[in-house]
Structure 1
Amino acid sequence: MPDRDTAETAMEELSARRPDLGEVELVRDSLAGEDDAEDAQWLVVLEAPEEGGWTTEQLADLDAFTAEHDGWREED
């Protein structure tokens, strides 16, 4: 997300909408090769549940949520 306020709003909305997803964290991520702080993005980070991972319902809801906020979901 382009700024902290937008990311915080999304984080609060996601936490309220899906408390079963666990702790939600904000992370500031500078774009590769960019020195200007204006080029940093804010990420809303969730950890997958230790046992069983994400359910199909949770992933579908996360995809819908990110689409509403012009974002995307990544897994590592």
Structure 2
Amino acid sequence: MNDVRHVLVLPDRESAEEAAAELVERFGLHESPRPVRDALAGEDDAEDAQWLVPVEDAEERLEVEQLNAFAAEWDGWREEP
């Protein structure tokens, strides 16, 4: 089994939660990814946090270009490994 993970970086919690739910519908994921808050180094203010959406892709069936476009819909991006 491969351990492939994509990480989408989104600007806020609401976007991350909406994107996680949409990932299941659009890409046929088995379960909704769980968004994780990623505070910027040295920042205590929640407004300065980014939200990460880790997407497991053990079957390596998700296309990088599609995930890039998907993240951009929420003003985000896919983090390069």
Q: Please, what TM-score do these two structures have when normalized by structure 1? A: 0.72
Larger strand share, 1 or 2: 2
Q: Percent of aligned positions with the same letter in both sequences? A: 54
Q: Please, what TM-score do these two structures have when normalized by structure 2? A: 0.69
Greater relative contact order, per chain length (Cα 8 Å cut-off, separation 6+): 2
- CA distance in structure 2 between the aligned counterparts of 1:39 and 1:5, rounded to whole angstroms: 14
Worse-matched range after superposition: 57-66 or 4-13: 57-66
Runs of 4+ more than 6 Å apart: none
User: Which residue is equivalent to 1:17?
Assistant: 26
| Contact persistence 1:29–1:40 (CA under 8 A) | yes
- Answer yes or no: is 1:62 the counterpart of 2:67: yes
Larger helix share, 1 or 2: 1
- CA distance in structure 1 between the aligned counterparts of 2:41 and 2:27, rounded to whole angstroms: 32
RMSD of Structure 2 on Structure 1 (CA): 2.2
Structure 2: any 5+ residue segments left out of the alignment? 1-9
Structure 1: any 5+ residue segments left out of the alignment? none
Which is higher, the Rg of structure 1 or of structure 2? 1
Q: CA deviation at 1:13?
A: 1.0
The aligned runs of 1:1-76 (5 Å cut-off) are 1-20=10-29, 23-49=32-58, 54-55=60-61, 58-76=63-81
